[in-house]
Structure 1
């Protein structure tokens, strides 16, 4: 692996992939960069994946060993459902990462992007028996589509896959108990927005609990209407409402994710 001026030198693959795949690569690389910007990364651990457009079963995932702030469109590794490379790359893939991601991608055609993080607030809430509580506006959107999966150790066991997917079901959000947070979305933009809301809900819960007072639960009728309210708030655009602004932010900070 060569470096140039403190950067990992990765040859461009733009001319070797379709325009649709390149666009997905740029979005997924941007997702890694914005997560690093918010401080949700965990050195080189955790992972986000995206289905390569075109109807096949090929996926993009981070090169194992690169910091999230170093990920670029060209450095993303293209693999099949077995985690085997289908395009030449000098990088390896996190085996635990792909056990989780391949299970969800295989089980759900709607899961075009899967995100997994180990944030402090997310892990803290995942350790609580009650899980995420209905105490904030952010939490109501999560609770309308949330599952839980009990901890089974580091995700290296293929036998865990059916239990993971059964616990996830058709939900957008999954809290991995004693472990972290997981999102499945129809696009990178949707997955990121979902993770942003879940992470913020966890942060608020931990901060509210630290105050020591009695927490005020949100009434069930409000929780029941959250899904419709979410669509109204985003004008039906979902993550696409905020994603262009995120890309502009990254372009101001460091546009090298596009290479």
Structure 2
């Protein structure tokens, strides 16, 4: 019995250790990549905790002192990249004389999601992500029930941009915001299209795989409405009867 418990303890320790090692390797690789992108390095403290499976990873900016909290119990590949991307973006904004709060929250997440999935293709988010207005969240996150679709939409939009431009272009938008003072103008300057136009194009690309289904739905509705219209046409409207009925009612009133 003791040997069984010993084997179990060693196995659990190995799993926990592997989780921490995986996270540390990922964040070290991300740090090297981000320092090349931004041309500077950031000091941060990393806390890797076991957690209970429901904790959220976080990158905390305490006036330029950065802390990253990650949890092995709920860890997913790429999360360390995501949180460190937040830290570097915070520092970059400070170097440009900008308060991180001046940049829309959704754009912070666009930067982080873009870097998280820079070398991998994300899973296609649920269909309603295409219709979700993630740009409405400038200062606060959506309610918990909508956070999954929010991140799905942001990640998909980031992927759309990065298939056509570079990660540095996403950062250049901030430079243009400093000059133009408006994110739409900044998008126009960097990408040659307004934010609204790019979101519309992304939605069309996003919905393209669903087009056969959508066409089928439209065709079904068209046929259904057409059949109902054909059914009611069988009942001819007798205008003469209506006029006679009207005259009868008028005589009755008199």
More strand by share: 1
Bigger Cα Rg: 2
Of Structure 1 and Structure 2, the greater helix share is in 2
